[in-house]
């Protein structure tokens, strides 16, 4: 399971309600008190920074970007923050002569989230940078997460630049758009005219809405596929294509406790595969490492208690369960690698396929040991399925987040899934693609973010 934006995830997003898609969830599915989510493959439109800079430099946490934006229903009253000229089908050389090779126009959706930010940074550092026109789509360029992105891109600035100014200085075009409005998304694609789109979908506890937003994006991109959009890269979750192997999944998963989550991921993949793009790549990341930070820890285990004399992880993971981890920003880094490889003619490597991503698969006991080395103190684990190891005065609930290790807690349900389904195969798949050494290890992530774990 992959990522959430803040500890509140996207549960607090102030999006307007939308009509639901027909049959987005099996009609026979049993009611769920709260939909379980995996802290990895959902999109994380927040402001955690996990690669070149420590999270410590970001300032106070804030809620996810869309919260401060007014509802937008049908009008694409969404103008780019700076004028964008319609692109020529051919780029101009420095002396003004028309080039013979098309310049790729790469549009990054969710650029203020971890995956989108990772992609942007990687493309800006690419040796093929001069072959790309890069654009980013955000909903609110004045939001806290937009300010955090500006700080990360221009850390030397004593005062934060406005995002539009920061991006302009880097040669990146900024457009504003709203997933909830099909007209808005279509306007963005028609204005920027991307050739390649990177789309890490939002995931909240309203899976029908999430699927509807994904449909708006994918449908609008598909409508442009005959003229400009040739390639789409999306991220889902490690295991989305192997649901039939889940214990208890049955024929179509309608009674599985994580049915809604996995059906949503599968349907997003299906929409991409059926849209008839020239090429697509589906990235399937494991659990996101940023869910180990204080602002996100409720999505992986119960946070430290003030009363703990020894820092203690309380979890539904079993002692022998191996969890496959990856840095959320590295999903974007891999997306950029796909673009780079295809730029130099290696299109078949990534064409119309899924890519499993994980850098290490470790037990929670191993994780606690590594945390302890970074923190310079002992970190222990209490396992929910070993109640005899819990002191009588300990409580399995984290009262600050409301999370528990009970069977009905959404994250506990996802951890139980991890106990039953071994996702370690993602590490070997990443190694086979030659990506493993390029991505951030668990130890490096913990060391860079020691003040936030």
The Cα 123–Cα 143 span in angstroms is 23
How many other C-beta atoms can be found within 10 angstroms of the C-beta atom of residue 40? 34
Query: Which conformational region is residue 377 in: left (phi greater than 0), alpha (psi within -120 to 50 degrees), or beta?
Result: beta
Beta bridge partners of 279: 231
- pLDDT value for 65: 38
Encoded tokens for 162:
């406005």
Q: Which residue reads 């939002």 in tokens?
A: 202
Q: What residues have CB less than 8 Å from 23, skipping those under 6 apart?
A: none
Residue 370, φ and ψ in degrees, nearest 5: -70, -40
Sign, CA dihedral 29-32-34-38, equals negative
> pLDDT of the chain along its 453 residues, tens only?
544 333 333 322 222 333 333 343 333 333 333 344 555 544 444 433 333 333 333 333 333 333 333 333 322 223 333 333 333 333 333 334 443 346 899 999 999 899 999 999 999 999 999 999 999 999 888 888 888 888 888 887 656 678 888 999 999 999 999 999 999 999 999 999 999 999 998 877 789 999 999 999 999 999 988 788 999 999 999 999 999 999 999 988 989 999 999 999 999 999 999 998 999 999 999 999 988 887 666 666 666 777 778 888 888 899 999 999 999 999 999 999 999 999 988 878 999 999 999 999 999 999 999 999 999 999 999 888 887 777 766 655 553 444 555 566 778 888 899 999 999 999 999 999 999 999 999 999 999 999 988
User: 3-class SS at 314?
Assistant: strand
The Cα 59–Cα 420 span in angstroms is 38
Encoded tokens for 322:
């191996």
Q: What is the largest CA-CA distance in the chain?
A: 78
User: 3-class SS at 285?
Assistant: strand
Length of the chain: 453
Q: What residues have CB less than 8 Å from 373, skipping those under 6 apart?
A: none
How far separated are the first and last CA of the chain, in Å rounded? 19
Whether 340 contacts 197, CB under 8 Å: no
Encoded tokens for 152:
């990360």
For helices 144-153 and 114-124, the axis angle rounded to 10 degrees is 30
Whether 38 contacts 413, CB under 8 Å: no
DSSP 8-state symbol, 28: T
Whether 40 contacts 3, CB under 8 Å: yes
Q: How far is CA 310 from CA 159, 253, 381, in A?
A: 40, 41, 10
Q: What residues have CB less than 8 Å from 96, skipping those under 6 apart?
A: none
Sign, CA dihedral 321-409-4-176, equals positive
DSSP 8-state symbol, 29: P
Whether 185 contacts 178, CB under 8 Å: yes
Beta bridge partners of 106: 134, 196
Q: pTM of the full predicted structure?
A: 0.79
How many other C-beta atoms can be found within 10 angstroms of the C-beta atom of residue 386? 11
Helical (H) or strand (E) element with 369 = helix 364-375
């Amino acid at each position: 399971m992959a990522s959430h934006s803040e500890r509140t995830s996207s549960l607090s997003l102030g999006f307007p309600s939308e009509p639901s898609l027909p049959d987005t969830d099996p009609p026979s599915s049993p009611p769920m008190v709260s939909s379980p989510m995996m802290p990895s493959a959902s999109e994380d439109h927040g402001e955690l920074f996990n690669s070149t800079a420590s999270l410590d430099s970001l300032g106070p946490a804030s809620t996810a970007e869309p919260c401060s934006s007014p509802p937008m229903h049908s009008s694409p009253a969404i103008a780019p923050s700076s004028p964008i000229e319609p692109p020529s089908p051919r780029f101009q050389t420095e002396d003004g002569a028309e080039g013979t090779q098309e310049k790729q126009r790469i549009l990054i959706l969710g650029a203020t989230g971890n995956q989108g930010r990772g992609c942007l940074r990687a493309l800006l550092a690419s040796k093929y940078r001069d072959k790309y026109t890069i654009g980013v789509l955000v909903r609110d360029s004045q939001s806290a997460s937009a300010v955090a992105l500006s700080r990360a891109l221009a850390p030397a600035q004593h005062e934060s630049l406005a995002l539009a100014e920061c991006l302009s200085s880097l040669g990146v075009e900024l457009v504003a758009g709203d997933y909830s409005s099909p007209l808005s998304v279509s306007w963005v694609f028609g204005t920027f005219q991307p050739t390649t789109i990177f789309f890490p979908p939002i995931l909240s506890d309203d899976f029908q809405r999430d699927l509807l937003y994904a449909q708006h994006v994918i449908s609008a991109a598909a409508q442009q596929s005959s003229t400009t959009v040739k390639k789409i890269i999306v991220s889902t979750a490690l295991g989305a294509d192997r649901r039939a192997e889940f214990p208890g999944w049955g024929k179509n998963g309608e009674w599985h406790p994580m049915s809604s989550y996995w059906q949503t991921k599968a349907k997003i993949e299906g929409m991409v595969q059926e849209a008839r793009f020239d090429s697509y790549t589906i990235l399937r990341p494991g659990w996101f490492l940023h869910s180990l930070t204080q602002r996100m820890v409720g999505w992986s285990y119960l946070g430290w208690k003030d009363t703990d004399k020894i820092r203690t992880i309380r979890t539904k993971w079993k002692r022998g369960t191996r969890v496959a981890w990856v840095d959320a920003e590295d999903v974007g880094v891999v997306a950029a690698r796909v673009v780079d490889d295809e730029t130099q003619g290696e299109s078949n490597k990534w064409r119309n396929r899924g890519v499993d991503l994980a850098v290490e698969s470790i037990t929670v006991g191993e994780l606690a040991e590594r945390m302890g080395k970074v923190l310079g103190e002992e970190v222990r684990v209490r396992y929910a399925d070993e109640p005899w190891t819990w002191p009588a005065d300990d409580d399995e609930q984290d009262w600050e987040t409301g999370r528990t290790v009970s069977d009905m807690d959404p994250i506990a349900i996802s951890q139980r899934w991890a106990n039953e389904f071994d996702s370690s195969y993602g590490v070997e798949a990443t190694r086979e693609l030659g990506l493993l050494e390029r991505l951030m290890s668990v130890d490096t992530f913990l060391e860079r973010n020691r003040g936030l774990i």
